[in-house]
Structure 1
């Protein structure tokens, strides 16, 4: 069937718009950013995400972390990754900082409160960084980017856990643009949901006394992710278990 000129024009417009609709991550959002101080420039081991000591460096990001405000999303945004660029032409590096959200924080209408190591990357060089610090808060643009953690997904047992009375964990090294939305535990012949206690911490009272089998779900995937390991019955608070899964 031959299309009229009107229909052909409409189809042409759809073809032009389709790439823009599919690559919305290419666009930046304008905002503001500031920084906090630490003795060594890394992040803080405390915070609303519950990452603990791990949250100071976050794998190869080497301390380039930040507290976020609205991007925290009730904890779902913990561990997500962003490219942040400041907008002072003679001071700011064109690539800016690649960083990880590890905490929640607010300050002077900002979306990011950055660690010193993250804020450093905004500047062209050390001298530019020192000048940026004098501003305190700077105009930025940012976009979410895929995380590129090193290694497989990790199960980190929180120190608040107590075998066998209480079980709490954080799922780490979730690569790509993926949010951990749900975690379930196998108990008494069925899957039962863990509760998001706060931030990235999921917990379950009175877990099974034997090995612990988990599965989790991430945004954008309809199927549950099988870690292909079990947490042994002698698990202890503070232990980390490496799964056989690496997300992209």
Structure 2
């Protein structure tokens, strides 16, 4: 039986528009945008599609911004900008710096830059533009269905991919608990949205606590039955 509780903290979303730039990577099919530095897999299957972006170092924050959602609009370039166009994307990848080009790589610190899927870039500007000035702001992520937990690893090391997170979208803390453990076990961020523990919880039903960057916490009780298997994905049924 699923049980969930919600602790509400202060919202971290900001309606202010900030300056940045944007480019694109990959082709119109978006195969290059799959997987990536946040740890997601098939973005179509996981509900993100091509409405995604890679972030420069200044925005990526060592993967802590993975899962956050942004509104982006093209500005100050009437030749290439599509009028009144605003897109909404989820951060799923990293645009790495290239220090061999200190003045020619838009992803070098301290620049704020969005490397969009081609589909989303074309929603903002003409293809020939290549790179455009934009403004952005953090917005609420709206996801279909509940928070998902994909369990990987082995009996001595559990790696959990947490995805399809609504609300502010980015996760600051995950805890796990087995039906035979006496307390919650803190998980550490392995990379992006993958969280790990070295505890052996095979044969126990699993519960999770997930906290997002605005302080909201959801508790998912016994969402994985005691016969769960590595490689399986479990639906938390509810979302932020």
Q: TM-score, normalised by structure 1?
A: 0.76
Asked whether 1:165 is paired with 2:153, we answer: no
Higher relative contact order (CA 8 A, sep 6+): 2
Q: 1:203-218 residue pairs with structure 2 within 5 A?
A: 203-209=196-202, 210-218=204-212
Structure number with bigger Rg: 1
Partner of residue 54 from structure 2, selected from 35, 58, 67: 67
SS in structure 2 at match of 1:230: strand
Could you give the per-residue CA deviations for residues 56-114 of structure 1, whole angstroms, max 9, x where no partner exists?
Answer: 5752x531111102222222211111111112224324132111100111442451111
Counterpart CA distance in 1 for 2:31 and 2:71 is 18
Counterpart of 2:143?
149
Deviation at 1:169, TM superposition (A): 1.1
Counterpart of 1:80?
68
SS in structure 2 at match of 1:190: coil
Q: Structure 2 regions of 5+ residues with no counterpart? A: 1-10, 97-104
Partner of residue 21 from structure 2, selected from 32, 40, 62: 32
Asked whether 1:194 is paired with 2:187, we answer: yes
Counterpart of 1:246?
239
CA contact under 8 A between 2:12 and 2:214: conserved in structure 1? no
Give the CA RMSD over aligned residues.
2.4
Counterpart CA distance in 2 for 1:144 and 1:180 is 14
Deviation at 1:170, TM superposition (A): 1.8
Aligned residues: 212
Q: TM-score, normalised by structure 2?
A: 0.79
Counterpart CA distance in 2 for 1:245 and 1:228 is 12
Asked whether 1:114 is paired with 2:102, we answer: no
Deviation at 1:230, TM superposition (A): 2.7
More strand by share: 2
Q: Structure 1 regions of 5+ residues with no counterpart? A: 1-21, 124-128
Deviation at 1:157, TM superposition (A): 2.3
